[in-house]
Structure 1
């Protein structure tokens, strides 16, 4: 509070270091160990540099993800609001192809609900009704998070800088009308290799996945960043993080909506 932000040179240095770590499939020491003055605001500036490097290499932004939506994770990181990251074209996986772990470093999977927009959504001032009206459909999905920070020893500044620990994501084929589903009470059943792993409900995410999207639309709006038609929004995990390996299969079922299956192959770097 009241101090100058870290220098633009340090922002660029950290963003480039994270990009190089992603490209080379290796990890870095936590940024806060080397630069303890980095704030969350600095973290988003570093994220912007990291994502810009990926866009310069030919990717494009296809959506956003919301992270740190559950109270246990917020308590762990010492922060009491979500964070966000940017989804790029190279992060997209399909049920048909599965997830190639050889492109990742230290991946963990989580099941959640994705929103796909049919209209632009420009905050601030966005309400839950606005989100529902702008959404073409919702679908079950898996996000496979990945950290460029060694051993997942992250504080909120580290994960924000590291693009909210984005790895890859996979959307299901089921498409539901969010105006006809109770996304708060809709139950999720997660299976791992055919066995029950966990159960949850949409209320685990900020009281409702819609609330998480409202938060992000308004947060981005204050930053001058709109959601565009066609973008994907990952609304936040409804499951525990699962470590995944070659041959694993995860399936999540959302009541009244359908299922998504992720099959994993290859070997991660760590």
Structure 2
């Protein structure tokens, strides 16, 4: 794609986000897009947000579990960026009509780094050594693509279908946990709707962070000290609407909840 096409597609996604209006998938348009095109579109949309005064605070990997990949018809993880405008404080309500179009929730571990990780070649052991703490998190995924009719290039272009994130206020040391076997329970309106374990995300949430460091490293980006890194859902995505109360419990880590208004 030409630079003008990249800019136009990025501007279209940005306008869709601001107006809460879904658009036709890029992969259904004439010529389609490549993965590199999709990544450049994502960066253009991110720059628009930064120009608006938002600040980059982290990165994410998505579609790490088989359940999530099957749900959206993709066959590999995706990646995106997190800004301060996407963060919700633990326990605070989420205004579902302020920025979201077709939201769903996921339960995740958020890694907070104490030193940089620059791929390729990052290992799981290096991820653990570089992590300051992990925090329970609810990621609210959303898509600017109509009816979640996405292919892999669509979701990469659309910032890995990111919406918002709700981080808990309990901190855990990953060196004291078995990240493969730790369990997660997602409750919706007081009822358990799904359960999962660390192994659901590429075998371990730490392996997801290594994948993210190595993948972004090929594009010249590092994972930075102090950044929040979402490691992928351990449970299937769950649709939400106004009035829903979501709570995620993670064994050995803590809980986080939010209410959709």
User: Scaled by the length of structure 2, what TM-score is found?
Assistant: 0.96
How far does the alpha carbon of each residue in 1:59-103 deviate from its partner, in whole angstroms, 9 at most, with x for none?
111001101111244356565431100001100001232211122
How far does the alpha carbon of each residue in 1:97-127 deviate from its partner, in whole angstroms, 9 at most, with x for none?
2211122111111111110111111222211
Aligned to 1:56: 51
Aligned to 1:89: 84
Moved runs in structure 1, 4+ residues, more than 4 A? 75-79
After TM superposition, the structure 1 = structure 2 runs for residues 169-180 of structure 1, keeping only pairs within 5 Å, are 169-180=165-176
CA distance 1:144–1:77, change in 2 (3 Å): closer
Are 1:243 and 2:232 matched, yes or no?
no
Aligned to 1:26: 21
Match of 2:126 among 130, 148, 152: 130
Aligned to 1:8: 3
Unaligned runs of 5+ in 1: 1-5, 266-270
Aligned to 2:163: 167
Aligned to 1:98: 93
User: Scaled by the length of structure 1, what TM-score is found?
Assistant: 0.93
Aligned to 2:248: 252
**Matched length:** 260
Match of 1:157 among 138, 149, 153: 153
Q: Is the 8 A contact 1:183 1:208 kept in 2?
A: yes
Aligned to 1:191: 187
Q: Is the 8 A contact 1:188 1:200 kept in 2?
A: yes
Match of 2:12 among 17, 40, 44: 17
- In 1, distance between residues paired with 2:74 and 2:254? 33
After TM superposition, the structure 1 = structure 2 runs for residues 214-225 of structure 1, keeping only pairs within 5 Å, are 214-225=210-221
Aligned to 1:268: none
Q: Is the 8 A contact 1:108 1:242 kept in 2?
A: yes
- In 2, distance between residues paired with 1:37 and 1:101? 31
How far does the alpha carbon of each residue in 1:214-260 deviate from its partner, in whole angstroms, 9 at most, with x for none?
00111111211111111001100112211112221111111111111
Deviation at 1:11, TM superposition (A): 0.7
SS in structure 2 opposite 1:100? coil
- In 1, distance between residues paired with 2:73 and 2:186? 28
- In 2, distance between residues paired with 1:12 and 1:201? 40
Unaligned runs of 5+ in 2: none
Are 1:71 and 2:66 matched, yes or no?
yes
- In 1, distance between residues paired with 2:73 and 2:254? 35
- In 2, distance between residues paired with 1:204 and 1:129? 19
How far does the alpha carbon of each residue in 1:29-64 deviate from its partner, in whole angstroms, 9 at most, with x for none?
111222443111211111111111111111111001
- In 1, distance between residues paired with 2:71 and 2:190? 30
